[in-house]
Structure 1
Amino acid sequence: MDLHVEYAVIGGSGTLSSNFPLGAEDPGVILIDDDLQFATPYGLSPVFRLFSVDDKLVLTCKMHGWRSGVSRADASRQIFWVFRKAGVKRIISEGGVGTANHLLDPRDFVIPDDYLDLSVRKDVELDGKYLLIMRDALCSEVRNTLVKATQKNYNGRIFTRGIYANTDGRHFESPAEVAMMKGHADIIGQSICPEVYLAREIGACYAGLYFVVNYGEGLVKEWSHQDLKDIFYDDAPMVSRIILETIRNLSAEGKCSCRDLRKETLLKGIYNK
């Protein structure tokens, strides 16, 4: 694959309706290539878009690569295989989330600093060569840059830390499940894992921007599907602008410890590729 790109955006529901990044109507954005697909050991990749922001090259895909006929595990592997081949160093993910913390409201932003993996997709890896230390799993440099960009582009409530609970979906959670998570997590979604593991495996920095779109079941009040729809369609350009602002102010070479938290596995007899 003859492509060298240092930045990537994993698009979620927050930018889905805005034709990211074009919906932001940013004069510094240039679309370079579209409908890029790559053969990977895990099947044909999702479609990628290649664009630039003030001369910084960025790869992006829609909705975490999820699509009919492809397992979510394989979709994640395909994306991160492409990122590794392209030399991606900084990854920003985004999405709409529900609440596990009853103090959060729709249209609050959360830039989490930790996660809780309640999924069953815990063995999703590329080759298993590394021991992944999940201390500081969400890069502090990317997070801080995301926070500043969000503060510049949004006048609502912004939470600069929090815990993201990852569930499998594709359904939303039951009241009992939300009650179990309350006190242990702040937001609930379906994408941070295995992405956070795969980012560490390829030695890239990873952090996410999450927009609250509904109350967790049994918290505060019942949520409205119309409200959910309005948030997805009305606020997507603003989410796009925050991400573009973040890329502008984010150096490709970080001073963080993300790469140092990936160690050679001690299981040499098993992983000796």
Structure 2
Amino acid sequence: MKIPQAPLALIGGSSTLSIQIPEDLGLDYVNVLERDMIFTTPFGDSPAFKLVEIKGEQGTRQLLTCRMHGWRRGIPRRTASQQVFWVLAQAGVKKILAEGGVGAVNHLLDPRDIVIPHDYIDVSMRKDVNLDDRYLLVMRQALCPSLSRFLSKKAKELWTAGRVFNRGIYVNTDGRHFESPAEVNLYRIGAGDVIGQSLCPEVYLAREIGACYAGLYMVVNYAEGIVTPWTHQELADIYYNQSLEVGRLLFASLRDLPWEDQCECRDLRKDTLLKEVYEEGFDG
């Protein structure tokens, strides 16, 4: 199947997993053009994508979207991310929004708060996840400041279930288990604000393909040892009750997003200085 061209992408996560995006949102400015698109990539068949059309004052835009970061049974998460971002690169995607649920490490955060992180700490084992070896990726502004500012502005206008924080450090762990109290305390001491499992490797794969990337993350529980123990029912209630509001916020942001670049994301992807190593092979 030929990959369609689309300037925008939405990577769905756990905050919208309980609904069909965008069909369940009831938005008259959104139209699904094609469903269940699976593409052949160098990393195996991709997850299913939808091609969506959005109409707004900025004009008519097309975007690609997939569910739950492309994760699915039998496919390693790192491979799923490579599949997703290879497709986005071929589609010419230049701006990416992602979402997910996170645990609060910072004591100031409560469930249903929104955090739009400005930086991350990657403690996962999914290292060296790339599409090829051509680039040196500078992570000085890890998440696009321009895209993040706009997302924060829309969230403060539309989000009613909790507060909105326009800064935060996202600690990325492997999962699928949650973290121990000792691990959470370590991340708290290390300046982490929230814990999740999806921002990496997405944030540096986005840089590799030359795309701006920002994320919107809903606090769904206190991390272990923070404030009070969470319950499974509370977690389920948040996921099921807030998913429509998260989805509508994301699509309103995609509809109204200014197209002009006000960042240096693309300039932070440099040619590798190790060309001879990767072209001729390296023995040690």
Are 2:226 and 1:219 aligned? yes
Aligned to 2:50: 49
Identify the range of structure 1 (203-212 vs 140-149) with the bigger mean alpha-carbon deviation. Answer: 140-149
Alpha-carbon separation, structure 2, partners of 1:207 and 1:12? 13
Q: Aligned residues: percent identity?
A: 55
Shift of 1:50: 0.9
Partner amino acid, structure 1, of 2:18: S
Partner amino acid, structure 2, of 1:28: Y
Shift of 1:222: 0.6
Alpha-carbon separation, structure 2, partners of 1:23 and 1:161? 30
Of 160, 166, 177, the match for 2:172: 166
Aligned to 1:9: 10
The 4+ residue runs of structure 1 with deviation greater than 6 A are: none
CA contact (8 A) 2:137 2:207 kept: yes
Do the aligned partners of residues 263 and 218 (structure 1) sit closer, same or farther apart at CA in structure 2, a change above 3 Å counting?
Answer: same
Alpha-carbon separation, structure 1, partners of 2:95 and 2:247? 17
Aligned to 1:87: 92
Are 2:110 and 1:105 aligned? yes
CA contact (8 A) 2:117 2:168 kept: yes
Shift of 1:74: 0.5
Are 2:128 and 1:145 aligned? no
Alpha-carbon separation, structure 2, partners of 1:181 and 1:8? 30
Give deviations 1:36-87, integer Å, cap 9, x for gaps: 0000000000000111111210101011111111100100000000000000
Of 63, 66, 75, the match for 1:58: 63
Are 2:202 and 1:202 aligned? no
- Runs of at least 5 residues in structure 2 that lack an aligned partner in the other structure: none
Do the aligned partners of residues 21 and 48 (structure 1) sit closer, same or farther apart at CA in structure 2, a change above 3 Å counting?
Answer: same
Alpha-carbon separation, structure 1, partners of 2:260 and 2:274? 30
Are 2:132 and 1:127 aligned? yes
CA contact (8 A) 2:30 2:53 kept: yes
Shift of 1:252: 3.7
SS at match of 2:174: coil
Shift of 1:253: 4.3
Aligned to 2:72: 67
Alpha-carbon separation, structure 1, partners of 2:244 and 2:139? 32
- Superposed counterparts of 1:22-41, under 5 Å: 22-41=23-42
Partner amino acid, structure 2, of 1:147: S
CA contact (8 A) 2:115 2:165 kept: yes
Question: Under a length normalisation based on structure 2, what TM-score does the superposition of the two structures give?
Answer: 0.94
Partner amino acid, structure 1, of 2:170: Y
Question: Under a length normalisation based on structure 1, what TM-score does the superposition of the two structures give?
Answer: 0.98
Kindly report the root-mean-square deviation, in angstroms, between the aligned alpha carbons of the 2 structures: 1.1
Are 2:269 and 1:262 aligned? yes
Shift of 1:272: 3.5
